[in-house]
Amino acid sequence: MGDQWASVGSLLAGLMFLGAVIRQYFPFRPETILIKYIRELTSFIYPYVQIKIPEYTGERMKRSEAYAAVEAYLSASCSQRAHKLKADLGKDSTKPVLSMDDHEEVTDEFEGTTFWWSSSKTTRQAQVLWYPTQEEKRSYRLTFHKSNRQLVLDSYLTHVLKEGREVGIRNRRRKLYCNNPSSNWGGYRSKVWNHVAFEHPSSFDTLAMDPGKKREIMKDLDTFRKGKDYYAKIGKAWKRGYLLYGPPGTGKSSMISAMANFLDYDVYDLELTTVKNNVELRKLFIETTSKSIIVIEDIDCSLDLTGKRKQKSKKEEDKSEEKKNLPPGPEEKEESKVTLSGLLNFIDGLWSACGGERLIVFTTNHIEKLDPALIRRGRMDKHIEMSYCCFEAFQVLAKNYLDVDSHPLFGAIRDLMEEVKITPADVAENLMPKSVDEDAGSCLENLILAMNKAKEEEASKQAQASTEENVEGEKSGAKEEETSKRAQASTEETVEAEEKSGAKEEEASKQTVCNGEETAQEKSTGSIADGVN
């Protein structure tokens, strides 16, 4: 059937071309009527309309979303009827997902109407740099009777795209993306993100933390996932920022994996240190897809994002003055120029303009080092502290690692946990059996030993600190004594000096008085003498 339609199609294209030529050379009424008749004849002979959906569209040969949706739709609804199929691995990697092969045709029924779908592939020789390659162009073609045009435009295409997207999400294998250094971006169809299948097993069931806090986070995520209409109503982009902070080994990265598994989202792990400037950062962001979590780990270490300029030493300033006249060296070229304002734009500028349903998650071990502008609500909407292991968190780990809900040693562990700070990572390590002979009891004993050791270490540290404090105190006491002694000595010296200088002054004034008297005497004598004279 496809070949027949193709030959009818080329006949019609010829007639249309003839019509166009006539219209160009004879723009008068009789010819216009002729064109009209040709159209009517064409429509009578071939009363069908075709819509082509190519695989790649637009700049950078981005794969068309419509093509992906149609592919998924046809794989679900038509694979029973097609003769030639393609198979790929699905989400759980056990069942293959089937789709139509190239140059295959199937029919589809919708509201009592029949539609024809065909897949085609053309190959042409292309020159990429100096390598000749085969370029393949695939497309789907929908054919329907012209009387169904309105049905197609109003409902059938919407139905196909909606169903296709849902099937695509159900079938897709989730991905973990890492950003490619920009030096690798230049090639043909090169990608800014590389990906592997995301298969991290962490979930909210395996995550050890305060149960109340866990429930709250799950509710928050669920509300976000279902919040499309709400976000549209309040005029806010459908995005949410999370800041996870706490000491190493408290489960920040595990929490991100649990979130991704809970929401069924992809993960984009953004390594900021390889991003050269804000422009690259924007490009990376634009290439992310919806239903994803964008992660920046250890944000305080990635860049100097405190917003404060580092005070340059005099030496550094001199050096940079000298360097101004020289071409940039390799170190400078590599230096990352992503700025705090660039990152803020990334979060709320373009972030709001691009499609929705994205989470952005920052992690840090030092929340106090971050600029308040970066983590204010609206940017980082939810701050989650991941902390040391509490007894409830330990119970989750004991259940997961040892399959025990209760044990006589639990009481001792509960008491120790109130006194000792231990991370879930350390608890997990102690609970994991190291040989086949180890059972739950011995693993729990290991944990108690580890906590007792940590307690002793803590006590000895405190004792050392207090000894140092005492020594310091004694030293400062001796210093104070010395200082006060010195002060006293200097006071005494001053007093002595004052006394001496007072005596001297007295002596001097006495002398002055005497001299004065003498002078006065002399003067008066003189004046008397003068008077006499």
Q: Which is nearer to Mg ion, 164 or 246 (CB)?
A: 246
CA distance 345 to 278: 9
Q: Does 424 bind ligand ATP (CB under 6 A)?
A: yes
Residue 100's nearest CA partner among 76, 123, 134, 116 is 76
Beta strands per DSSP E along 246-329: 266-269, 292-296
Q: Say how many residues touch Mg ion, by CB under 5 A.
A: 2
Residue type present at position 130? W
Residue 122: which of 48, 59, 56 has the closest Cα? 56
* C-beta of 338 vs 393, nearer to ligand ATP: 393
- The piece of 10-18, 96-104, 245-253, 364-372 that touches Mg ion (CB under 5 A) is 245-253
- Who contacts 120 (Cβ-Cβ below 8 Å, separation ≥6)? 102, 103, 138, 139, 140, 141
In whole angstroms, give the CA distance from residue 13 to residue 28. 23
Interface characters, 373-392, with ligand ATP (x: CB under 6 A): -------------x------
CA-nearest of 301, 299, 304 to 379 is: 299
Give me the residue label for tokens 């029919």.
Answer: 107
Among residues 65 and 220, whose Cβ is nearest to ligand ATP? 220
Residue 248 near ligand ATP by CB under 6 A:
yes
Binding residue (CB under 6 A) for ligand ATP from 66, 106, 142, 208: 208
Most distant CA atoms of the chain, gap in Å? 159
Give me the least distance between CB of 258 and ligand ATP, in Å please. 9
Residue 521 to residue 531: CA distance in whole angstroms: 15
3-state secondary structure of 176: strand
Q: What SS3 state is found at 308?
A: coil
Among 253, 261, 288, 430, binds Mg ion (CB under 5 A): 253
Q: Looking at beta carbons only, is 135 or 271 nearer to ligand ATP?
A: 271
Report if residue 428 touches ligand ATP, rule: CB under 6 A: yes
Choose one: 191-199, 201-209, 249-257, 368-376; the region binding Mg ion (CB under 5 A): 249-257
Contact partner, 428, from ligand ATP, Mg ion, none, Cβ < 5-8 Å per class: ligand ATP
261 binds Mg ion (CB under 5 A): no
Pairing of strands 56-57, 382-385: unpaired
* d(C-alpha 266, C-alpha 174), whole Å: 5
| 388 token code pair | 């040391």
Q: What angle do CA 93, 94, 98 make, to 5 degrees?
A: 85
Nearer to Mg ion, 167 or 427 (CB): 427
The site partner of 342 among Mg ion, ligand ATP, none (C-beta below 5 to 8 Å per kind) is none
Burial class (CB in 10 A: 0-12, 13-18, 19+), 445: middle
Q: Per CB under 6 A, does 288 bind ligand ATP?
A: no
From residue 272, alpha-carbon distances to 295, 300, 383 in Å are 10, 11, 21
Binding status of residue 207 toward ligand ATP by CB under 6 A = yes
Note whether 395 binds Mg ion by CB under 5 A. Answer: no
State the pairing for strand pair 239-245/266-269: unpaired
207 binds, among ligand ATP, Mg ion, none (CB under 5 to 8 A by kind): ligand ATP
Q: Does 387 bind Mg ion (CB under 5 A)?
A: no
Q: How far is the CB of 348 from Mg ion (least distance, A)?
A: 25
Q: How many CA atoms lie within 13 A of 279 on its CB side?
A: 1
Q: Is 425 in the site for ligand ATP (CB under 6 A)?
A: yes
Q: Is 278 in the site for ligand ATP (CB under 6 A)?
A: no
Q: What is the CA radius of gyration of the chain?
A: 42
**Per-residue contact string for residues 193-232; x = within reach of Mg ion by CB under 5 A:** ----------------------------------------
**For the chain, how many residues are written?**
533
Residue 365 binds to ligand ATP (criterion: CB under 6 A): yes
Residue 171 contacts which entry, ligand ATP, Mg ion, none (Cβ below 5-8 A, type-dependent): none
Binding ligand ATP (rule: CB under 6 A), the pick from 251, 268, 288, 401 is 251
State yes or no: residue 249 binds ligand ATP (CB under 6 A).
yes
Complex with Mg ion: residue 252 or 379, whichever CB lies closer: 252
CB of 256 or CB of 284, closer to ligand ATP: 256
Question: Angle at the Cα of 398 (from 394 to 402), degrees rounded to 5?
Answer: 165
Pick from Mg ion, ligand ATP, none: which does 365 bind, CB < 5 to 8 A by kind? ligand ATP
Question: Interface residues with Mg ion (CB under 5 A)?
Answer: 252-253
Question: Interface residues with ligand ATP (CB under 6 A)?
Answer: 206-209, 248-254, 365, 386, 424-425, 428
